[in-house]
Amino acid sequence: NIFVGKNMQDINEKMNKLGSERSAIRELFEKGKELKKTYGEKKVFDFSIGNPVSSPPKEVKEVLIDLITNKNPIELHGYTSAQGDIFVRRSISEYLNEKYSAETNEEYIYMTSGAAAGIAIALKALVNVGDEVIVFSPYFPEYKVFIENAGGVVITVKPDEKKFFPNFYDLKEKITKNTKLLIINSPNNPTGVFYDEEVVKKITEILSEKEKEYDKNIFLLSDEPYRELLYVDKKYPFVTNYYKNSIVTYSFSKSLSLPGERIGYILVNESCNNAKKIFESICGAGRSMGFVCATTLFQHMIPKILGLTSDFSVYKKNRQFLLEKLESIGYEIVNSDGAFYLFIKTPIEEKEFSKRALQHNLLLVPSESFGIKGYVRLAYCVDYETVVNSIKSFKSLYEECVKDGNK
Ligand code: PLP
C-alpha cells in the first residue's frame, strides 16, 4: 500500500501516544491474561485492575428483565435527551436530597458513560487552555489525560505521607490566580483513604479563602465512584453541602459492579456561581466529544435500583485478611477506610518490585503512574481464594527483596 507510513500528519501525535503506550494498569491487566493462559487462572494473582468481583445485586437483573419484557422497545432502545431522560435525572436528584440532605436539582444532572466520561466532560466544559487543575498525588492516572486533553495544566499537591490526606500547606501554596479547579477523590484510588467531614471542611475552607484572595471562582470536582465503599461507620460528606462551587462525578461501575455498562452522571451544584452557564457548557462538552445520550437501558434501570449496592462483604474479608497477613510478613501499608485498594510501601524501587512480583505471578501496579514513588497498588476486588493463595508469593517476594537489599 503506497499510503502506508507516508505521512505522519495523517494522525494526531498526542492521541497516537496515548493509544500506543497503554496505561500501567492496562499493561499489567493484559500481561495477567497472558500469564493465566500459561499458568492457569488459579496460579496467577491478578491485583491489577478495579474490576469488581462481587455480582450486581439480584434486583439489577430483575429490573433489566422487566424493562426488556414490558417496556416499549422503541422507547427502551431509542435516544434519550442528550443529557439523559428527565425522569431518571429526577430520581437521582431526589435520592441524593434524601440520602445526603442535599439540595440538588434534576436540571443540573447530566447522564454519562461512567465516571470517566463525566470527568472528561466536566473538565472540557470548564478548562480553557493554560488553566491550572490541581490533583492530590497519588491520583487516578486518567485525570492527567483528561486535564491535558482539555488544554489544562496538571498541578500536583503532595500527600501527607502519614495518613495520605492532602498536604494542606502544599495545597495553599499551589493555588494561584490561574487555578480553575481542584479534583478530589474519596474513598481514594489508589490509596483507599477516605476524607471524612473534617478533611473536606479543611479543603473547602482553603478553597474559599483563595477564592476571596484572588477574587475568582475556584471549582471543586469531587469524583465519587467509591462513595458507598466504606468500611467505617462515618457519614459521607457530600461536597455540595460544604462548598458552593462544586461539581460531582459519579458512576455505578463499582457500587453495582457494572463497569462494563458505562453508566454514571455529572451533578452541578445548583448554587454554583454561573450554574446555568456551566451546565450548558457541560452539554456542549458532551456534544463536542460525542458523549450524548448515555445508554438508555441502563438509564431506565436507575430509578428502580437507587440505594442498592452489590454485596461488599468479599472486599471486607479480603481487606482484613490481606492487612493481617501482609503486615505480619513485614509490608507497610497505608491506613485506609474505603474503596478496594491497598497502597503498599515497596522494600525496593517500585518498578523493580512490580517486575519481581510478576515473577511470582503477582500483579501489582507501580505507583509512578499515580504521580508518586515508592509504592504499589493492590486491587483486592478479586475472589477470596486468590487472596489466600497469593500470600506465599508475597512472602517469598518480600524475603527476596529484603535479602537483596541487605547484601
Ligand atoms: N475515577 C476513579 C477514581 C476511578 O478509580 C475510576 C475507575 O476505576 C473512574 C473514575 C472511572 O470509572 P468508570 O468505570 O465509571 O468510568
pLDDT at 127 over 60: yes
Number of H helices, E strands in the chain: 14, 13
pTM: 0.95
pLDDT at 407 over 60: no
Handedness of CA 237, 238, 243, 245 (dihedral sign): positive
Ligand 1 mean position, distance from CA 183 (Å): 13
pLDDT at 4 over 80: no
Residues constituting the chain: 407
Atom of ligand 1 nearest to the CA of 185: 3
- Give the span between the Cα atoms of 336 and 352, in whole angstroms: 25
State mean pLDDT over 75-80.
96
Q: What is the maximum alpha-carbon separation in the chain?
A: 71
Protein residue with its CA nearest to atom 12 in ligand 1? 115
State mean pLDDT over 339-358.
96
Least confident piece of the model among 23-27, 86-90, 261-265: 23-27
With a 6 Å cutoff on the Cβ, whether 338 touches ligand 1 is: no
Ligand 1 mean position, distance from CA 1 (Å): 40
Share of the chain above pLDDT 70, in %: 97
Q: For residue 3, what pLDDT band results from cuts at 50, 70 and 90? A: low
Mean pLDDT, all residues of the chain: 95
User: pLDDT at position 224, please?
Assistant: 98
User: pLDDT at position 22, please?
Assistant: 76
Per DSSP, the three-state class of 178 is coil
User: Using an 8 Å Cβ cutoff, are 254 and 50 in contact?
Assistant: yes
With a 6 Å cutoff on the Cβ, whether 270 touches ligand 1 is: no
pLDDT at 2 over 80: no
Protein residue with its CA nearest to atom 7 in ligand 1? 50
Helices 384-405 and 350-359 cross at an angle (nearest 10°) of 120
With a 6 Å cutoff on the Cβ, whether 116 touches ligand 1 is: yes
Atom of ligand 1 nearest to the CA of 223: 1
- Give the span between the Cα atoms of 176 and 191, in whole angstroms: 27
Pairing mode, if any, of strands 179-185 and 219-223? parallel
With a 6 Å cutoff on the Cβ, whether 365 touches ligand 1 is: no
DSSP code string of 84-128: --HHHHHHHHHHHHHHH-----GGGEEEESHHHHHHHHHHHHH--
Comparison of pLDDT for 16 and 120, the residue scoring more? 120
With a 6 Å cutoff on the Cβ, whether 52 touches ligand 1 is: no
Protein residue with its CA nearest to atom 5 in ligand 1? 189
According to DSSP, the residues that pair with 182 across neighbouring strands are 134, 220
With a 6 Å cutoff on the Cβ, whether 109 touches ligand 1 is: no
State mean pLDDT over 81-96.
98
With a 6 Å cutoff on the Cβ, whether 186 touches ligand 1 is: no
Per DSSP, the three-state class of 30 is helix
pLDDT at 246 over 90: yes
- Give the span between the Cα atoms of 308 and 115, in whole angstroms: 18
Peptide bond into 138 cis (omega under 30): yes
144-164 pLDDT tens trace: 999 999 999 999 999 998 899
With a 6 Å cutoff on the Cβ, whether 224 touches ligand 1 is: no
With a 6 Å cutoff on the Cβ, whether 118 touches ligand 1 is: no
User: Using an 8 Å Cβ cutoff, are 118 and 251 in contact?
Assistant: yes
Counting ligand 1 atoms within 8 A of each CB, the residue from 47, 254, 289 with the most, and so the one to mutate, is: 254
With a 6 Å cutoff on the Cβ, whether 138 touches ligand 1 is: no
Ligand 1 mean position, distance from CA 116 (Å): 6
33-70 pLDDT tens trace: 889 999 988 899 999 998 999 999 999 999 999 999 99
Least confident piece of the model among 20-24, 202-206, 283-287: 20-24
- Give the span between the Cα atoms of 213 and 327, in whole angstroms: 45
Q: For residue 329, what pLDDT band results from cuts at 50, 70 and 90? A: very high
Counting ligand 1 atoms within 8 A of each CB, the residue from 143, 147, 223 with the most, and so the one to mutate, is: 223
User: pLDDT at position 336, please?
Assistant: 93
State mean pLDDT over 205-216.
98
Atom of ligand 1 nearest to the CA of 339: 5
State mean pLDDT over 123-128.
98
Ramachandran angles phi, psi of 49, nearest 5°: -130, 155
Beta strands in 158-302 (DSSP E): 179-185, 219-223, 246-251, 264-268
With a 6 Å cutoff on the Cβ, whether 259 touches ligand 1 is: yes
- Give the span between the Cα atoms of 329 and 391, in whole angstroms: 9
- Give the span between the Cα atoms of 43 and 26, in whole angstroms: 20
Counting ligand 1 atoms within 8 A of each CB, the residue from 29, 142, 186 with the most, and so the one to mutate, is: 142
State mean pLDDT over 191-200.
97
* Listed residue (134, 74, 174, 27) closest to 371, CA to CA: 134
Ligand 1 mean position, distance from CA 70 (Å): 32
State mean pLDDT over 277-305.
98
pLDDT at 107 over 80: yes
State mean pLDDT over 312-317.
97
